[in-house]
Amino acid sequence: MRVFGEITGIPEGSEFENRYYLSQYGVHKPLQAGISGSQTEGADSIVLSGGYEDDEDYGDVIIYTGHGGRSQVTGLQVSDQQLSHQNLALALNCQQGIPVRVIRGYNHQSIFSPSEGYRYDGLYRIADYWRAQGLSDFFVWRFRLIKIDKLVDLVVVNEDQPIYGKPKRVETMVQRIIRDTALSSYVKKMYGFRCQVCRVEIRTNTGLYAEAAHIQPLGMPHNGPDILPNILCLCPNHHVMYDFGGFGIKDDFALIGIDGKLFRKAKHIIDCQYLQYHRKHFMISD
């Protein structure tokens, strides 16, 4: 049985001499694979051990490169990675809010690595994932892991009364974080809080609700700009679908993957380079 979250009796910072002990204690079961998981349940743990040239480790934030496409002989990337198997497992973590245990190995190139053996470094959530051209030019899947702040991110489920600041038994975690910028409000008002794909109006006790979606995402590594030509007004359903590559938008605003065409006000100029970026990095096939 796959155990998600913390392993009882193994606190963060625990050190292990080698992969055999990591496996025996249930922290990371496979002896070779970097990702432990299945594409129906999600991933329960990963080991950072210097296998992939593209990993980036900022401590509380890790850009992790998916599995596959490497030569078994040379270890070099020789073909595109697919969003399947262990990679799909990590993607499921992202969508379903499943935490993953992170273990750093001595051979991982990072100032955060232990000098010997392996160290369990706590739970991370998968904030997002995308397809990128790796250092070797082949497509890889990349996953952004963010360390879980126990107080803020986790829901504490207790038999007794839960008390703030004293998490006891951690069962659950965050999943999807919607970003908002100063311009978001402007775009939503421009469309009267109606989705540019399906025109739905979402009514709540605070009035109409919509989300502003950045076509090319903000922040590293996408660095999409927070400007009007890069923002859409979407309902939550189409926002989820767009972020997770469920549909794309052609340069003429026809939709790919679903029927229809993007509704657009004449004064809302959308820059095609952002639509292209999204198609390249978030759609499985263009």
List residues near a second copy by CB under 8 A.
4, 58-61, 83, 88, 91-92, 94-98, 146-147, 149, 151-153, 155-157, 161-165, 171-182, 184-185, 200, 202-206, 209, 211, 218-220, 223, 226, 235-237, 239-241, 244-246, 257-258, 282-284
State the amino acid at position 145 in one-letter form: L
User: Is the CB of 118 or the CB of 282 nearer to a second copy?
Assistant: 282
- Cβ pair 132, 281 in contact under 8 A: yes
Kindly state the DSSP code that residue 115 receives in the 8-state scheme.
S
At its nearest, how many Å lie between a second copy and the CB of residue 20? 29
Residue type, 171: E
Query: How many alpha carbons fall within 13 Å on the CB side of residue 220?
Result: 10
Residue 155's CB is within 10 A of a number of other CB atoms, namely 12
Cβ distance to a second copy smaller for residue 92 or 215: 92
Q: What number of CA atoms fall less than 13 Å from residue 54's CA on the CB side?
A: 27
Q: For a second copy, give the closer residue by CB, 78 or 155.
A: 155
Q: How many residues does the chain have?
A: 286
- Provide the minimum distance between the beta carbon of 171 and a second copy in the complex, in angstroms, as a whole number: 5
User: Residue 54 carries which side chain, given as an amino acid letter?
Assistant: D
What is the rounded distance in angstroms from the CA atom of residue 62 to the CA atom of residue 144? 6
- Minimum distance of a second copy from residue 77's CB (angstroms): 21
The residues facing 201 across adjacent strands are 194
**Judged by CB, which is closer to a second copy: 74, or 205?**
205
As measured in angstroms, the least distance from the Cβ of 261 to a second copy is 18
Q: Which is nearer to a second copy, 209 or 263 (CB)?
A: 209
The CB-of-97 to a second copy minimum distance in angstroms stands at: 3
In the complex, minimum distance from the CB of residue 275 to a second copy, in angstroms, rounded to a whole number: 17
Nearest residue (CB) to a second copy, 47 versus 89: 89
Strands 42-48 and 100-105: parallel
